[in-house]
Amino acid sequence: MTYMIKKILTAIALFCIVTAFGQNYTPTDAGSKVRFVIKNFGINTGGTFEGLAGTIVFDPANITGASFNVSVDAKTVDTDLEARDNHLRKEEYFDVEKYPRLSFKSTKITTTNKEGYLYMFGVITIKNISKEISFPFKQTSKDGGILFEGEFKLNRKDFGVGGSSFSMSDEVNLELSIFAKKS
């Protein structure tokens, strides 16, 4: 009898430990989009990044145990105009030779009052400059993984991306649609 109770308690303890740490997911380029939009001469101009890498720990039943540590390859910047892409890869903008990745690491995730949304707090690093950000996001189960969607605004000059510009806005909108599969 006590042997059976010990087995049951051990099983419950293991379940609690696994649940407390959530599921590990790996972000993938397939099914994901990391997009930016900035006004240039008053017109919205956008582009994307690929080369997603990192780890996401997520369990909808244990939001406080969730964590995101993800990055994209700066060299993959794509605005559908090769000359502009090459210009953005230079030192004045993303300086991809010196800073090959743009990264984000969560510090806290909380619930919100808005149905289906959570709130992400974390640190984004671009050109080795780190800034705290926060933004709402939603998660949806999809194709054996999870799709995380959210957006936020940054000031490009806070990260040394491009200098003062008459034609280009300082504010950049980032739109994230990150698909992650179980690791």
For residues 60-92, one letter each, b for 16 or more C-beta atoms within 10 angstroms of the residue's C-beta and e for the rest, the string is eeebeebbbebbbbbebbebeeeebeeebbeee
Distance (Å, rounded) from C-alpha 150 to C-alpha 111?
14
What per-residue confidence (pLDDT) applies to 165? Answer: 87
Domains of the chain in start order, with CATH, are 23-182 (2.40.128.110)
What per-residue confidence (pLDDT) applies to 2? Answer: 56
What per-residue confidence (pLDDT) applies to 21? Answer: 52
What per-residue confidence (pLDDT) applies to 1? Answer: 54
What per-residue confidence (pLDDT) applies to 16? Answer: 43
What per-residue confidence (pLDDT) applies to 131? Answer: 98
Per-position DSSP letters for 130-157, written without gaps between them: EEEEEEEEEEEEETTEEEEEEEEEEEGG
Q: Which residues of the chain have pLDDT under 70?
A: 1-21
Cα–Cα nearest to 94, from 122, 124, 128: 128
What per-residue confidence (pLDDT) applies to 121? Answer: 98
- Within 10 angstroms of residue 114's Cβ, the number of other Cβ atoms is 10
Return the ∠ at Cα 26 (arms to 99 and 24), rounded to 5°: 125
What per-residue confidence (pLDDT) applies to 26? Answer: 98
Return the ∠ at Cα 58 (arms to 52 and 59), rounded to 5°: 155
pTM of the predicted protein model: 0.86
Cβ proximity of 177 and 32 under 8 Å: yes
Decide: helix, strand or coil at residue 111: strand
